[in-house]
Amino acid sequence: MSRLSENPVAPMSAAQAATRAEFSREQRRVLLAIARASIASTLIGQPLPDSPPASPSPFPALIEPRGVFTTLYLEGKLRGCVGYPLPTHPLFLAVAETARAAAFEDSRFWPLTPEETPRLQISLSVLSPLFPVGAGEVEVGRHGLLISQGLRRGLLLPQVPIEHGWDRETFLEQTCRKAGLPLDAWRKSAALEAFTAEVFGDEDGT
């Protein structure tokens, strides 16, 4: 599956994140460093890494295929967000590629400049594998959603309905809207899949 742009909102609360923490602070630091290094290397014309970092502290999950979204903020405002919803790339490469794409290929923004880079804040949302879910099983605040029908698909991260105060039905409808489908497509023939996400940023990796 190709990369998707996303409209993220505020991160999950610490209490929500704690219930599903997979990565230690040191591991988060490594992943955030990969994202920042990818952006910096692109600015000077260097290629993306073809292997995970040898240090500091590599860990097995770096080479496991995972979906991930990289979100960039500049002075508190969205500066780019791109992700892989499916686990098609090893985690280290997915982070590097989505960080580069969020900085330079998100069509909603001009490419990042060297002057902006020192003020950039990075947030990562590492996704669980997608799994089929019934509409009545969707848990607001825990599940992200991917709705698809034919060539249309739309994805919303788990934190989106929390920020907007949506109930389950509104969350389903808005995911359909994101896919360009009728709001009630989730009741009919659209395929509905869910995932969870561990969300962390620069403030969590220091």
The four Cα atoms 85, 137, 185, 170 give a dihedral, to 10 degrees, of -90
Please state which CATH class domain 131-195 belongs to.
alpha beta
pLDDT tens per residue, range 121-143: 999 999 998 899 999 999 999 99
pLDDT band at 53 (very low <50, low <70, confident <90, very high): confident
- The model carries a pTM of 0.77
Domain coordinates in residue numbering, the chain: 4-128, 131-195
pLDDT band at 201 (very low <50, low <70, confident <90, very high): very high
Mean pLDDT of 58-86: 90
Residue 99 makes CB contacts below 8 A (sequence gap 6+) with 34, 35, 36, 38, 39, 70, 72, 122
pLDDT tens per residue, range 83-104: 998 889 999 999 999 999 999 9
At residue 166, does pLDDT exceed 70?
A: yes
Sequence letter at residue 118: P
Residue 138 makes CB contacts below 8 A (sequence gap 6+) with 145, 168, 171, 172, 192, 194
pLDDT at 81: 92
At residue 52, does pLDDT exceed 80?
A: no
pLDDT at 202: 83
Provide the CATH topology of domain 4-128. Answer: Glycoprotein, Type 4 Pilin (3.30.700)
